[in-house]
């Protein structure tokens, strides 16, 4: 368990957010944390959406994976971007 800083950006929002992520969190938690800053503020809620999708370095990430595993596999460095969109 360690906090790790990322920039989270929600697709359609022009403001990236600095988000502290626990390396033990799964990617669903990461997507929720990023979306919390944009959805309902600068991005309208999508009533047809079933949740969120996350991508890092253009690669779609399984939301059940832990952020720590993804971080190691994709060589994520502090302040890398995680992009989130409606699923």
CB atoms within 10 A of CB 43: 19
Does the structure show a pLDDT above 90 at 75? Answer: yes
Number of domains comprising the chain: 1
Cβ atoms 31, 19 nearer than 8 A: no
Looking at residue 1, what is its pLDDT?
82
Does the structure show a pLDDT above 90 at 49? Answer: yes
**Which CATH number is 80's domain given?**
3.10.20.270
Mean pLDDT, residues 18-23: 97
Mean pLDDT, residues 13-23: 97
Query: Which domain does 29 fall in, by range?
Result: 3-86
Looking at residue 5, what is its pLDDT?
98
| Distance in angstroms (rounded) separating the CA atoms of residues 70 and 40 | 28
pTM of the model: 0.94
Does the structure show a pLDDT above 90 at 42? Answer: yes
Share of the chain above pLDDT 90, in %: 99
Looking at residue 58, what is its pLDDT?
95
């Amino acid at each position: 368990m360690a906090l790790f800083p990322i920039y989270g950006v929600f697709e359609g929002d022009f403001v990236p957010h600095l988000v502290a992520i626990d390396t033990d969190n799964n990617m669903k938690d990461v997507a929720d944390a990023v979306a919390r800053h944009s959805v309902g503020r600068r991005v309208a809620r999508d009533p047809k959406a079933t949740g969120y999708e996350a991508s890092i370095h253009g690669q779609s990430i399984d939301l059940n994976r832990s952020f720590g595993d993804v971080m190691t596999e994709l060589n994520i460095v502090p302040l890398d971007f995680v992009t989130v969109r409606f699923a």
